[in-house]
Amino acid sequence: MTTILVVDDEPAMVGMLAALLGDDGHHIVTAYDGEVALRRHAEERPDLVILDRRLPRMSGDDVVRTIRGSSNTPILMLTGEKGSEERARLWHQMLAIHMQQQYVIGVIAGVPQPVVARDKLMNLPTQGFYNWDPGAFFGIYRPETFWFK
C-alpha cells in the first residue's frame, strides 16, 4: 500500500485530497503545518508528499529543503502563484533541488529535452525519439521493462 503525506493548512483541501486518494486504496497521513509535516515524514516514511507551498510555522520551500537533506521522497508542490516571474523562480528552484535526477533523452532543434526521473528507476534509455504524443519518450521503450533499484 502506498503511503501519501498530504500537507496543507486548509482542512478542506486536506480532506478532499485524503478522501480522493484514500478511496483509491492509499494510506493517507496528514499535517497542517511544516513542522508537523517533517515529524510525520520521519515517522511514516511516505512514498509521496503532497505539499502546499504556503504553510504556517515553516514554509513549503523549507520543508522541501529539509526533506531533500535526508530523503529522495517524491514531492508534489501545490501553489497558487500566478505571476510569471514567481513561477519562473519556482521552476528554477525545483530544477536545482532535483538536478541530480535529471538527464537528457533527446535533442530537438539543438535544444536538449530533459526528463526528470527518480535515480532508482532502472533500464531507462539514454536517447529517445521525439513525438508529439504524451509519453512518447517512454512509450516506444516498453515502460513495463523499467524497474526500481
Residue pLDDT, tens place only, 106-122: 544 555 555 556 677 77
pLDDT at res. 85? 78
Angle between helices 34-44 and 60-68 (to 10 degrees): 30
Domains and their CATH numbers in the chain: 3-97 (3.40.50.2300), 101-148 (no CATH)
Per-residue model confidence as pLDDT tens digits over 13-59: 999 999 988 888 899 999 999 999 999 999 999 999 999 988 988 98
Of all residues in the chain, the percent with pLDDT exceeding 90 is: 31
Average pLDDT over residues 115-134: 60
Residue that wins the pLDDT comparison between 137 and 1 = 1
Average pLDDT over residues 77-105: 66
pLDDT at res. 105? 47
Closest CA to 4 of 48, 34, 41: 48
> Distance between alpha carbon 104 and the CA centroid of its chain, in Å?
18
pLDDT at res. 67? 93
22 Cβ contact partners less than 8 Å away, ≥ 6 residues apart: 28
